[in-house]
Amino acid sequence: MEPLVIAIIIGYFALMVAIGWWAKRKTSSAKEFLVAGQTLGFLVMAIASFSSIQSGWGMVGSTGTTYDWGPQALIGSALFIPLGFAVAWFLLGTRLHRAARKHQIYSVPDLIKARYQSKSAHVTMSVAMLIGSISYMTAQVTATGVIISLLTGTSPATGAWIGSAIVAAYTVAGGMLAAVWTDLIQGLLMIVISVGLFFYAVNEAGGWRNMLDSIWQEDPTLLSADGSMPAVFIVGFAVMILFGAAGQPQLVTKFLMLKDEKELKWGAAVAGISYAVTTLFSLGVGLSMRAMTIQGRAEPLDNIDNTATVFLDAFTHPVVAGIALVGLLAAIMSSASSFITIGAASAVRDLTGSLGRVVRRELLWNRVASVGVVLAALLFALYLSQVIFLLGAIGWAAFGAAILGPLALGLFWRRATAVATTVTIVVSLLGNLVITVATSQGWLTLPDYFYLGGVVIAFSTVLFIALSYVTAKPADADKLAQLYEPDQSMAVAQPATAAVDR
Amino acid sequence: MKHDRTDALVLTIGGLFALLTIGMTFDIWQLAWLPIPILSVVMIALGCLDRYGRWGASLPPVLIFGVVLTSLFVWAGLVLFDSGRFGGLQSGVGVVYYVIWPFVTVFSGLLYAVVYARWLRHDVSR
């Protein structure tokens, strides 16, 4: 390995750990650990939002599917995310800020508790957060192992342990404060690398038009809407991504971290444009690899998840490849750090709180739980063989389906009920789980146009609205008013816990 | 409880998601594709409501955005399966990549900034 590449890797890891150490000195309570002390400005919040959404699934998985399916892959997985950010800012921005000012809200289950004042809804959402966080972390750990093994020459399992140890080190130390500031660095790194490699990759394949012509002449369906995958499958994918964005906990919690309502204004624009720029990586590298395979300049790939790494290895200078791999690692680690703290919060604060237990020394136990989340994800990652893309899709769909209705619509709709919330969360999680297992085991065969994630989100939202409409009582409208009005507010967090935190 | 504007918007969202579910389940691409921009704009309109259920100054930019976005989806839908090319891609894919993607990337975030400045900030600062 080039000495410069080794220096870059060490420098990157050292910077992340240094930020973690800096954040640790500023973290002395659960509020600072879980919502960065509510001190974020719009730029940090917006870049951290996009970089925690742009995960290993987005950068590595989408590059592979673009190689395999053509441009239609990104219509499903990426192009509508900027619109999804805007929808999320509209639905969550001002309402979450108002609610967070009235209550001690540090997590999605806290919000559910404050909104519905229901133990069953609170417990169910807490369990969903814990399971979902570990599932999402598993995908990030898997991707980390692949990238670090390529950077250092170790096995993917060893790479997974090394990467997990580093992301755990700075997240356990500095919590969400470390996560968002490392997200900022990681996000900026991803933007620079994506722009540079898009132009480099397209140029390597002969320029944009020549690249597309090569693919068109070989197989026009690769550039078509109804090509490698049926059009409705791609649209279902886009539905999941667009409308599921407002249900992603790593995005929802960012709104709870803002220091001031004025910081909302430019967030959607910055996050959306940043995400679109990093989509260029998958577009350029995925299509250029396909074109160069057709041109006979690259070998056909056995595993599409290797598209980005094979491109970097075969077509770029080792130093460029090293920097780019660090950029991919940044995409993965930025999502991982958010889910470590969200998973820890769900285990320590939400689940125990929903069961009526008060956790003393909450900060300490959040740190312990963070280690637990990483270890659980490592165990899953090393013993499951599903591809990164599939794991990521399950996490996104399950979160989107469970949170979009109960939270995003529930912040506005006085008829939204706790019963509907509980049922929707259970159906979303079990629906995803049962159908995914049934199809993977061959017990159920879905039509090739059927995209489960999109259908689950759409169906779950219909279910939530219908059940709420049927079960709503006048008291439910009062609960919505109590979420925002100071004189009717209730104690959401455990005051005793806050007092003994330090 | 009497029905109000929020009820109407949420029930519309439910209806549009039901159409999406039918379209995605039974392979009817029109029902899966065309509700997307309308649903996006209805959700944005819901997000524009202040604590009293008013839209105030937010409605004109949202309506303009909605009309343009829906028109672009209709355009892409009309050429989704033809054999022509647009900028090297099949026509429908070309409309999505060269027109819809830049539009939503630039203008959806900008729409939030405009609506926030004109309307939503007053609701938060109360």
* Count of domains for chain B: 1
The boundaries of the domain holding residue B24 are: 5-125
Judge: A458–B21 Cβ closer than 8 Å, yes or no. Answer: yes
Q: Chain A residues with CB inside 8 Å of B72's CB? A: none
CA distance A38 to A40: 6
What one-character DSSP code corresponds to residue A40?
A: B
**pLDDT-based confidence at A217, cuts 50/70/90?**
very high
- 3-class SS of residue A254: helix
Residue A332: which pLDDT band, with cuts at 50, 70 and 90?
confident
Of A73-77, A120-124, A290-294, B121-125, the poorest mean pLDDT is in: B121-125
Can you tell me the mean pLDDT for A433-458? Answer: 89
CA end-to-end distance (rounded Å), chain B: 27
Lowest mean pLDDT among A191-200, A362-371, A384-393, A481-490: A384-393
For B31, nearest residue in chain A (alpha carbons):
A232
- CB contact under 8 Å between A71 and B101, yes or no, is no
User: Which residues face B90 on adjacent strands?
Assistant: B85
For chain A, the distance separating the N- and C-terminal CA atoms, rounded to the nearest angstrom, is 45
Count of pairs with CB atoms under 8 A, one residue in A, one in B: 199
A46 pLDDT band, cuts 50/70/90, is: very high
Residue A141, both tokens = 């750990």
For an interface test with A, which of B27, B90, B114 has the most A Cβ atoms less than 10 Å from its Cβ? B90
Mean pLDDT, range A287-298, rounded to an integer: 96
Coil, helix or strand for A108?
helix
Give which of B65, B105, B114 to mutate to test A binding, by max A Cβ within 10 Å.
Answer: B105
What is the rounded distance in angstroms from the CA atom of residue A53 to the CA atom of residue A46? 11
pLDDT at B51 over 90: no
* Rounded CA separation A404/A400 (Å): 6
Kindly determine whether residue B101 and residue A477, on different chains, have CB atoms separated by under 8 Å. Answer: no
CA dihedral (A304, A307, A313, A317) in degrees, to 10, reads 180
Task: Give the closest residue to A282 by CA, choosing from A215, A220, A198.
Answer: A198
**Is B13 within 8 Å of chain A by CB?**
yes
Residue with tokens 């399992």: A157
Closest partner residue to A225 among B10, B93, B123, by Cβ? Answer: B93
**What is the rounded distance in angstroms from the CA atom of residue A251 to the CA atom of residue B23?**
28
Q: Number of C-alpha atoms within 13 angstroms, CB side, residue A167? A: 35
Among candidate residues A273, A274, A237, A203, the one with its CA nearest the CA of residue A66: A237
| Distance separating alpha carbons of residues A218 and A240, to the nearest angstrom | 31
Smallest CA–CA distance from B76 into chain A, residue: A225
Rounded Cα gap, residues A453 and A459, in angstroms: 10
**A91-125, pLDDT tens digit by residue?**
999 999 889 888 889 999 999 999 999 999 999 99
For the stretch B12-28, pLDDT in tens is 999 999 999 999 999 99
Q: How confident is the model at residue A441 (pLDDT cuts 50, 70, 90)?
A: confident
Q: Are A95 and B116 in contact (CB under 8 A)?
A: no
pLDDT at A280 over 50: yes
pLDDT band at A486 (very low <50, low <70, confident <90, very high): low
Residue A498 has pLDDT above 80, yes or no: no
Query: Is pLDDT above 80 for A186?
Result: yes
Nearest to A462 among B17, B40, B123 (CB): B17
Taking the CA of residue A70 as centre, how many other CA atoms within 13 Å lie in the half-sphere pointing to its CB?
29
Mean pLDDT of chain A, nearest integer: 89
Q: Which domains does chain A have, with CATH numbers?
A: 3-379 (1.20.1730.10)
CA dist B101 and A484 (Å) reads: 36
Distance between CA atoms of B120 and A400, rounded to whole angstroms? 25
Top-confidence range, A299-313, A423-437, B82-96: B82-96
